[in-house]
Amino acid sequence: MNIAMILDMAAEAFGDRVAVVSGDSRYTYAELRVAAQCAAIAVRDSGARYLALLDVNSPAAPVAIFAAAYAGVSYVPLNYRLTRAEINELVDRIAPALLIVNADTRALVDPRADVQLIDRADFLSMPATDTVAPEPAEDPRAVAVQLFTSGTTGKPKAAILRHENLMSYIVGTVEFAAAEEDDAILVTVPPYHIAGISSVLSSTYACRRMVQLENFEAKAWLEACARENVSNAFIVPTMLSRIVEHLGTRGAAELPTLRALAYGGGKMPQSTIERAMQLFPQVDFTNAYGLTETSSTIAVLGPDDHRVAAASGDPAIRRRLASVGKPTAAVEIEVRDEEGRVLGPEEAGLVFVRGGQVSGEYLALGSQLDADGWFPTRDRGYTDAEGFLFLDGRADDVIVRGGENISPGEIEDVLLSHPAVADAAVVAMPDEQWGEVAAAAIVLKAGASVTVAELQERVKQQLRSSRVPQAIVFRDALPYNELGKVLRRVIRQEFVQAASALSA
C-alpha cells in the first residue's frame, strides 16, 4: 500500500485530463506522474531521508507529495511564514533532506552540508533518465507525510501520517473518478496545512483538475473562479467572510460555474454562512471538520443539512448551521467526560475519534491513541439527539474558575450579539481567588461605542455572574493566524502580563 497508487490510478484512467493549473503552467495526470517519477529518482539518488518543501502553492507541491511516495521517503512541507530561526530549527530536525525552495525562501535557510536546496523550477524539470523509476515500497506503516503542528507552547510537534492512514481516508471518503470532465477545484490552503495535502490526494483520486492560487485574496480568488470555470473550492471561514464582503450584493452571477463550496479550519460565524447561502443559492455548502492527526476530514455537514437547517423555523434544527455535521462513514466519534464516560446527547465533553485514517501519532512522543484505538482530539463538543456534532472550543482554552469549567465560546457569542461589537475573544486570566477568571478582548465596529460595565452586565443577564469577564480590553484588531484562527495564546499572554503587573 502506497499513496503513489492514487496517482497511478488517475494517470491510468484519465492520463490526458488536466491535473494541475498554476498560472500559465498545466500538467495532465500523465505528466504529473512522469514529473513525480523523475523527481523520485533524484530524491532516491540524493540519499535524503525527507523531501521537504518551503514554498507557496505551485505544481511542486503535488509533484513532491507523490515523488516522496515513489522514492519511499517522507514528505515534509514547511511553513514559509515562520521566522528564519524557526524555519532553521525545523530544517535541523529533518536533515538529511532535499529541500525545495523558491527565490524568496532560499535566503531563509542557513547553508548546511546535509540539506540540499533545489529551486522549484529545477525540481519540476528533472530529466527523464534511463534509470527506471523506483517501484513504490508497499509497507503500509511507512510514513508518507510529516507535518509540524503549530504548538501553542514549546517546540512544534511532528505529526506523522502513514500510507495506511492517508489511503484509508481517501478510499473511505472519495469515490474514484467522481469528478466530471470539466470539474475544477480552486486550492488556496497553503501546502503545509493538512487540507493542502488531503486536497491533492482527494482531487487526484477523483481525477479532478486542481487550480492553484499562491495566496488568498478575494479579488484574485473570484477572478480565478471565472477564468478557470471553477466548480469546487475549499476555503477557511475568514476567506468566505472576505469573499462575501467583496461581492456586496452581487452574488451568483459572479460565480456561474461554482457548484460546491467546502469550508473548515475554524469556527464559521453563523451570519457569514447564512449570507453566503443567500448570495449563492445554487451552491452546495459543506462544512468539514478534521485535524492534522486524523488525515483531515472526520465529520461533514452536507449540502442538504445546510438547506434543511437554513429553511427551518425550529431553533433546534436551525442551529445545525453552526454544527460540524455527522461522522463520515470512515470513522466513529464519541463525546466523553473527564473520567472517560461516554456522554449522551446535549452533554458537553471531550471529542474522541477512531478509524483507519486516524494516526494520532507524533515523532518522538509516539501514539496518543488509547488501548481501543481512540484519539483525544482535545476539542470540546456535544451532539444533538440526531447525532449532529457541535464544537465548543479547545480543551486547552477552557477557563477553570474555582473548579467550574467555562467555555469561552458561549461568552463570546453573548459579546458578539451586542450591536457595537465587531469581534471578541475570551481567554483565561490568572486570578488569586478563583485560580482563573474570564477576560475579554473586544474590537468595536467603526464609530460604535460601549462601556465595559454594559458588556459585563449583558453577560451577567444572559449567562450568569461566574461568566462575566473580569477584565475587558478594547483593541483595533485581534491577532489571527493566516488560516483565520484567533491566537488565544497571544491574548492570554497579554492578560497574564497585565495581571502580574497589577499584583507586583
Partner 1 sequence: MLNTAVLKAGARFKSAVCDTQVMVIKAPAGEHLLSCGGSAMIAASSTPPADAKLDPNAAGETLIGKRYVNADESVELLCTKGGKGSLALNGTPLEVKQAKQLPSSD
Kindly state the smallest distance separating residue 297's Cβ from partner 1, in Å: 4
Number of residues engaging partner 1 in binding (CB under 8 A) = 40
Could you identify the residue written with the cell 485581534?
478
Q: Please pick, from the candidates 37, 146, 202, 323, the single residue that binds partner 1 as defined by CB under 8 A.
A: 202
Q: Please pick, from the candidates 115, 124, 159, 167, the single residue that binds partner 1 as defined by CB under 8 A.
A: 167
The Cα 469–Cα 476 span in angstroms is: 19
* 454-463 burial code (b ≥16 CB/10 A, e <16): ebbebbeeeb
Is there a contact between 389 and 289 (Cβ–Cβ < 8 Å)? Answer: yes
Q: One-letter amino acid identity for 156?
A: P
Kindly state the smallest distance separating residue 205's Cβ from partner 1, in Å: 8
Is residue 28 a contact point for partner 1 (CB under 8 A)?
Answer: no
Kindly state the smallest distance separating residue 194's Cβ from partner 1, in Å: 9
- Residue 405 main-chain phi, psi, to 5 deg: -85, 125
Is residue 294 a contact point for partner 1 (CB under 8 A)?
Answer: no
Is residue 266 a contact point for partner 1 (CB under 8 A)?
Answer: no
The Cα 465–Cα 457 span in angstroms is: 9
> Which range of residues in 174-182, 273-281, 367-375, 440-448 is near partner 1 by CB under 8 A?
174-182
Q: Please pick, from the candidates 45, 110, 114, 138, the single residue that binds partner 1 as defined by CB under 8 A.
A: 138
How many Cβ atoms sit within 10 Å of the Cβ of residue 49? 15
> Which range of residues in 62-70, 114-122, 293-301, 449-457 is near partner 1 by CB under 8 A?
293-301
The Cα 410–Cα 426 span in angstroms is: 9
All three cell numbers of 342: 461516554
Is there a contact between 195 and 264 (Cβ–Cβ < 8 Å)? Answer: yes
Could you identify the residue written with the cell 535524503?
48
Is there a contact between 472 and 459 (Cβ–Cβ < 8 Å)? Answer: no
The interface mask with partner 1, positions 92-131, x = CB under 8 A, is ----------------------------------------
All three cell numbers of 70: 515513489
How many Cβ atoms sit within 10 Å of the Cβ of residue 132? 8
Kindly state the smallest distance separating residue 234's Cβ from partner 1, in Å: 5
Kindly state the smallest distance separating residue 16's Cβ from partner 1, in Å: 15
Is residue 260 a contact point for partner 1 (CB under 8 A)?
Answer: yes
Is there a contact between 388 and 376 (Cβ–Cβ < 8 Å)? Answer: no
> Which range of residues in 4-12, 35-43, 438-446, 452-460 is near partner 1 by CB under 8 A?
4-12
Is residue 12 a contact point for partner 1 (CB under 8 A)?
Answer: yes
Q: Which is nearer to partner 1, 6 or 459 (CB)?
A: 6
Is residue 333 a contact point for partner 1 (CB under 8 A)?
Answer: no
Kindly state the smallest distance separating residue 227's Cβ from partner 1, in Å: 21
Q: Using the Cα atoms of residue 41, residue 44, residue 47 and residue 53 in order, give the sign of their dihedral.
A: positive
Q: Which is nearer to partner 1, 174 or 472 (CB)?
A: 174
Q: Using the Cα atoms of residue 328, residue 332, residue 335 and residue 338 in order, give the sign of their dihedral.
A: negative
All three cell numbers of 141: 506503516
Q: Which is nearer to partner 1, 140 or 435 (CB)?
A: 140
Q: Which is nearer to partner 1, 202 or 456 (CB)?
A: 202
> Which range of residues in 97-105, 175-183, 307-315, 398-406 is near partner 1 by CB under 8 A?
175-183
Q: Please pick, from the candidates 28, 165, 238, 286, the single residue that binds partner 1 as defined by CB under 8 A.
A: 286
Kindly state the smallest distance separating residue 11's Cβ from partner 1, in Å: 11
Kindly state the smallest distance separating residue 332's Cβ from partner 1, in Å: 16
Is residue 165 a contact point for partner 1 (CB under 8 A)?
Answer: no
Alpha helix ranges (H) inside 72-150: 84-94, 120-124
Q: Which is nearer to partner 1, 91 or 167 (CB)?
A: 167
- Residue 91 main-chain phi, psi, to 5 deg: -60, -40
Q: Which is nearer to partner 1, 63 or 206 (CB)?
A: 206
Q: One-letter amino acid identity for 166?
A: L
CA distances from 126 to 7, 35, 47, 122, 217 (A): 18, 7, 16, 6, 32
> Which range of residues in 176-184, 312-320, 338-346, 439-447 is near partner 1 by CB under 8 A?
176-184
> Which range of residues in 78-86, 120-128, 177-185, 404-412 is near partner 1 by CB under 8 A?
177-185
The Cα 328–Cα 87 span in angstroms is: 35
If you count them, how many residues does the chain have? 504
Q: Which is nearer to partner 1, 137 or 218 (CB)?
A: 137
Kindly state the smallest distance separating residue 12's Cβ from partner 1, in Å: 6
The interface mask with partner 1, positions 218-247, x = CB under 8 A, is --------------x-x-------------
All three cell numbers of 376: 483525544
Q: Which helix (H) or strand (E) holds 382?
A: strand 375-383
Is there a contact between 261 and 342 (Cβ–Cβ < 8 Å)? Answer: no
Is there a contact between 100 and 76 (Cβ–Cβ < 8 Å)? Answer: no
Is residue 264 a contact point for partner 1 (CB under 8 A)?
Answer: yes
* 483-497 burial code (b ≥16 CB/10 A, e <16): bbbbebeebbebbbe
Kindly state the smallest distance separating residue 5's Cβ from partner 1, in Å: 6
The site for partner 1 (CB under 8 A) is made up of 1, 5, 8-9, 12-13, 138, 140, 164, 167, 171, 173-178, 185, 195, 198-199, 202, 206, 208, 232, 234, 260, 262, 264, 284, 286, 288, 290, 296-297, 300, 302-303, 328-329
